[in-house]
């Protein structure tokens, strides 16, 4: 576990301050989405957040995109973007308690449950501080969450109501079993959970936790913490595990991207920091906003906060790309997953058959060609789906063919072998 006070050396010293003018002078190349899912509206407590792509190996056309919508539960779409299933969130346990709120979702394959191997969709339930676990069978999700599944971070309902609960989530598997990494809302903590069969249901056990730094030493001999509401630390949401190396990538929203062994036994290392790293700010409770000073230029050169959805596209067994949502400038940064995670560039998703993507949160990608998606499928959340001229606020998900990213991003990216 790293110290909570981290000193940045060469990374901070070599950082270059990017101004808004320079960012506009070098806009990201753009791709377009093939289609989008129906709009989800804030007024209905529906807020699109995170997708996971389940590939039906027997009938690829029956593959599913499983998504979270926070207070509105889980929405499942087919490859045409049509809603095929909606799962309501869990009811609040008491009058003054929050209902279920599914935040992030990921997949587990061939999990041994009740004498058979099944695929699972696993979601973090921010409202309950637990997981929601669903068996994928015959094109539908069936809830198999054990009622006895323990709280992840809280001790009781009073602590749950404090909202420092389960937030981001990523799953991974090895010979010893199936696991979930779960981050904590408003705290720089990540927990490792082992998923376990309990009859025909699935429960979990906490293995260990990792505390990422919440305060940092800067090259000018001062300390810095990202500006946020009082009592809140720099949290993690976007996470993904490289299945070939067992390396977890953790997106600390206001800080940068970390990598660490997925079992959380090693020390975390920064892959890149946000451009706003080290930016001085003071929280104003009256406006619920931070008042910022001048950027000292200690951060990286590529990602604007918040750093959100992380996902990996594999071009071969041990090579591929880490994609990171740079929410502040509506782009996706691309890094190599091998070696020192070299930065390759970024791209945006602009208007085409459907509208463009802004303030993107969760993302997922698969490297197998599916009907209508040569080279694979990239699904991203659109945090501002409001059509131009409309006053209604909505979110949804955009579906992008990977070959379109290869062709139009200008980054000389590759397609997985055998998927051209």
Are the C-beta atoms of 382 and 397 separated by less than 8 Å?
yes
pLDDT score, position 390 = 66
pLDDT score, position 230 = 78
Per-residue tokens: 103: 């935040």
Encode pLDDT of 300-322 as tens digits: 999 999 999 999 999 999 999 99
Distance CA 349, CA 355 (A): 9
Encode pLDDT of 388-415 as tens digits: 556 678 999 999 999 999 999 999 999 9
Does the residue 415 lie in any domain? no
Does the residue 234 lie in any domain? yes
Number of domains composing the chain: 1
Does the residue 39 lie in any domain? yes
Does the residue 309 lie in any domain? yes
pLDDT score, position 393 = 85
Does the residue 217 lie in any domain? yes
**CATH number of the structural domain spanning residue 241:** 2.120.10.30
Does the residue 209 lie in any domain? yes
State yes or no: pLDDT of 44 exceeds 90. Answer: no
Mapped onto helix, strand or coil, the DSSP state of residue 316 is coil
What DSSP assignment string belongs to 77-112? Answer: E-TTS-EEEEEPPPPPSSTTS----EEEEEEEEEEE
Q: Single out the residue of 362, 268, 386, 223 nearest to residue 306, CA to CA.
A: 362
pLDDT score, position 389 = 53
Domain with 400, as residue range(s), is 5-408
Partner residues linked to 241 by β-bridges: 248
24-46 burial, b at 16+ Cβ within 10 Å, e below that, comes to eeeebebbbbbbbbebbbeeeeb
pLDDT score, position 418 = 79
Distance CA 351, CA 176 (A): 45
Does the residue 418 lie in any domain? no
| Residue pointed to by tokens 């009740």 | 114
Does the residue 72 lie in any domain? yes
- Side-chain-facing half-sphere of 362: CA atoms under 13 Å: 30
pLDDT grade, residue 231 (50/70/90)? confident
What mean pLDDT is reported for the chain? Answer: 92
State yes or no: pLDDT of 187 exceeds 80. Answer: yes
Distance CA 152, CA 160 (A): 10
- Angle (CA) 152-262-417 rounded to 5° is 130
């Amino acid at each position: 576990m790293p110290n909570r006070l981290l000193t940045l050396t060469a990374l901070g010293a070599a950082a270059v301050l990017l101004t808004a003018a320079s960012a506009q002078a070098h806009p990201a190349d753009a791709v377009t989405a093939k289609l989008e899912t129906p709009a989800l509206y804030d007024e209905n407590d529906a807020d699109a957040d995170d997708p996971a792509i389940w590939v039906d190996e027997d009938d690829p056309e029956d593959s599913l995109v499983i998504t979270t919508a926070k207070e509105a539960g889980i929405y499942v779409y087919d490859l045409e973007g049509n809603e095929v299933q909606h799962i309501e969130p869990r009811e609040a346990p008491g009058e003054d308690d929050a209902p279920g709120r599914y935040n992030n979702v990921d997949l587990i394959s061939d999990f041994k449950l009740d004498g058979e191997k099944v695929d699972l969709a696993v979601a973090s339930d921010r409202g309950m501080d637990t997981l929601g676990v669903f068996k994928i069978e015959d094109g539908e999700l069936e809830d198999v969450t054990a009622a006895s599944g323990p709280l992840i971070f809280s001790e009781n309902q009073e602590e749950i109501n404090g909202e420092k609960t389960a937030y981001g989530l990523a799953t991974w598997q090895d010979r010893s079993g199936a696991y979930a990494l779960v981050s904590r809302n408003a705290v720089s903590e990540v927990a490792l959970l082992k998923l376990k069969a309990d009859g025909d249901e699935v429960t979990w056990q906490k293995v260990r936790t990792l505390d990422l730094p919440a305060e940092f030493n800067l090259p000018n001999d001062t300390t810095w913490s990202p500006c946020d509401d009082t009592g809140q630390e720099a949290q993690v949401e976007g996470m993904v595990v490289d299945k070939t190396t067992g390396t977890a990538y953790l997106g600390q929203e206001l800080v940068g991207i970390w990598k660490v062994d997925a079992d959380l036994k090693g020390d975390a290392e920064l892959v890149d920091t946000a451009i706003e790293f080290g930016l001085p700010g003071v929280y104003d409770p009256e406006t619920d906003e931070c008042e910022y000073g001048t950027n000292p230029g200690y951060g990286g050169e590529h990602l604007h906060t918040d750093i959100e959805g992380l996902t990996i596209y594999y071009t071969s067994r041990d090579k591929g790309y880490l994609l990171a949502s740079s929410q502040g400038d509506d782009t996706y940064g691309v890094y190599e997953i091998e070696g020192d995670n070299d930065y390759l560039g970024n791209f945006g998703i602009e208007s085409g058959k459907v509208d463009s993507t802004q303030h993107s949160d969760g993302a997922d990608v698969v490297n197998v060609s599916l009907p209508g998606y040569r080279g694979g499928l990239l699904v991203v959340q659109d945090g501002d789906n409001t059509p131009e001229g409309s006053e209604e606020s909505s979110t949804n998900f955009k579906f992008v063919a990977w070959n379109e990213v290869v062709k139009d991003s200008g980054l000389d990216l590759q397609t997985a072998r055998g998927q051209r």
